Amino acid sequence: MNIYRYSNERSEYHSDTPQLAAGSFIMDDCVKIWGEIMHGGNLRRAYELYGSDSFIDLSANINPFGPPTGVWESLKQGMAEIVNYPDPESRFLRKMLSNNLGIPTESIMVGNGAGNLIFTVVQALKPKKVAIPIPAFSEYERAARSVGSEVSYLPLGPEGWAKFNQLDVLSENSRDESYVDQQWREFLQGCDLLFLCSPHNPTGSLLRKDMLELILRLTKELGCRILFDESFLDFLPDELRQSARTYLETNEHLIVLYSLTKFYSLPGLRLGTVFAHKSLLARFEKYRDPWSVNVLAQHAGIAALEDLEFSDDVRKKLRESRSIFYEEFTCCGFANLRLWPTTVNFALIEVINHTSGELTQHLGAQGILVRDCANFTGLPGNFIRVAIKDIFVMRQLIEGLKSQLLTTHVSEI
């Protein structure tokens, strides 16, 4: 049960289940409430806004079932090491990643979460112009602007990559590959760095394999590097889970970003990795804080990766929860809400004839935090994003939506 409590008197976080406590600290996403931008999982600010000390947090896309059980014991053991500096090279963690993912250790760099690594990569490359398909994680543009990069956008809308996976969507008069080639060539003109994300945040859509291969070919030809963010890859079912890491050996311009924070429920510790050719990593290392991954994060990461049954168990639970939520949402017949289903651990809900801020505020007053997408550039209309949590929590969300009295007929894609 993902109900988190904030204690004003002691400034402490509490959870009904000890292993779920880590889920309350995510700082990657933002929630817009009453015209104010509030980071997802910021229970202290939510307490101030809503006057409650108990929340269901659907604003941050974190595995709701907590870390693997071995993580807790590893943290106890690691406490004895906090009197020493951490290993600046995270050698044991990188070795574990190498063994699990089949990537040479010299092609792995570890950092304090995906956000930290995005800034490290951009500061090292200092691109003059970057390309960002939108909507997108705001840190892409923030990192680019921090080094003075010009930014160009490719609007995807709520369909996400589905819009570009179908050739007939791109043009009414042309369906051949040369047209798609030309569109991407024009978009990438003069760009030094392209941000890609799949599964895509916030739409949950997937970039098709043949489209990725076309983009890889064009960017290599044009001298444009790719930072490919697959932070939500582990949430995908087996038949859809294809990593861009498989293209690293033949594409030295490719950089793959991978997060342990979200799937292994470690947002309070922060842990992410970058995979790239060793010549690129050597360049990134000059801009990386050598002490960014503390001893507890290193211990937790190793313990999480050691649990080989954890991943399948999490995906099974989330699949059941997601299926029940989608089915019950459809049965409710919400007239002014439209669900955009995904195969990952979050989904968009379009708000019709109301503002997303109104629904966010309504749910927040009931103790349910969601992500208001009003400040997502490239996402026209009114949307909220909800994380998929356990079945009990998703039914609480359904009840919260019912109380908005929006039920007359179903509106679902």
Q: Is the pLDDT of residue 28 over 70?
A: no
DSSP assignments along 51-67, one per residue: --SEEEE-SS---TT-S
Please compute the mean of the pLDDT values over residues 330-356 and round it to a whole number: 95
Q: What pLDDT does 177 receive?
A: 67
Q: What pLDDT does 375 receive?
A: 87
Q: Is the pLDDT of residue 7 over 50?
A: no
Q: Is the pLDDT of residue 22 over 50?
A: no
DSSP assignments along 118-130, one per residue: HHHHHHHH--SEE
Q: Is the pLDDT of residue 30 over 90?
A: no
pLDDT digits (tens, 9 = 90+) for 185-237: 999 999 999 999 999 999 999 999 999 999 999 999 999 999 999 999 999 99
Measured distance CA(13)–CA(318) in Å, rounded = 25
List domains and CATH numbers for the chain: 3-66+310-402 (3.90.1150.10), 69-306 (3.40.640.10)
Structure-token pair, residue 388: 């998929």
44, 28 Cβ separation under 8 angstroms: no
pLDDT digits (tens, 9 = 90+) for 139-178: 999 999 999 999 999 999 999 999 876 554 444 444 556 7
Measured distance CA(47)–CA(38) in Å, rounded = 12
Q: What pLDDT does 176 receive?
A: 59
Measured distance CA(109)–CA(339) in Å, rounded = 38
Structure-token pair, residue 298: 């290193």
Closest CA to 139 of 387, 378, 376: 376
pLDDT digits (tens, 9 = 90+) for 399-411: 999 987 544 333 4
Asked, as a colleague might, if the bond just before 202 is cis with ω within 30 of 0, I would say yes
Q: Is the pLDDT of residue 48 over 80?
A: no
pLDDT above 90 coverage of the chain, percent:
76
